[in-house]
Amino acid sequence: MALNTGCRVSSARLIKRQDIDLVNKLITLKDTKNDNTYRGFIENEELFTILSRRKRELKTNEFLLSYGYKDIKDIIKQKLQPILNNLFNEGLETNDRKNRTVPHTLRHTFASHLAINGVSIFKIKELMNHKTIEMTMRYAKLSPEAGREEVKGLSFC
Domain of 65, CATH number, reads 1.10.443.10
| Residue 153 included in any domain | no
Q: What total number of domains does the chain contain?
A: 1
Is the residue at 149 inside a domain?
A: no
Please check whether residue 157 lies inside any domain of the structure. no
Which residues of the chain form beta strands (DSSP E)?
20-21, 26-31, 36-41
Q: Is residue 152, in this structure, part of any structural domain at all?
A: no
The enclosing H or E element of 47 equals: helix 45-57
For residue 81, tell me if it sits in a domain. Answer: yes
Q: What count of Cα atoms within 13 Å lies in the side-chain half-sphere of residue 37?
A: 10
Determine the pLDDT at residue 143: 80
Report pLDDT digits (tens) over 56-110. 999 988 988 876 555 677 777 788 889 999 999 999 998 998 899 998 999 999 9
Does 63 map to a domain? Answer: yes
Between 102 and 143, residue with greater pLDDT: 102
The domain containing residue 81 runs over which residues? 2-144
SS3 state of residue 36: strand
The answer to whether position 6 is within a domain reads: yes
Judge if pTM exceeds 0.75.
yes
Give 140's contacts (C-beta < 8 A, 6+ positions apart): 115, 121, 146
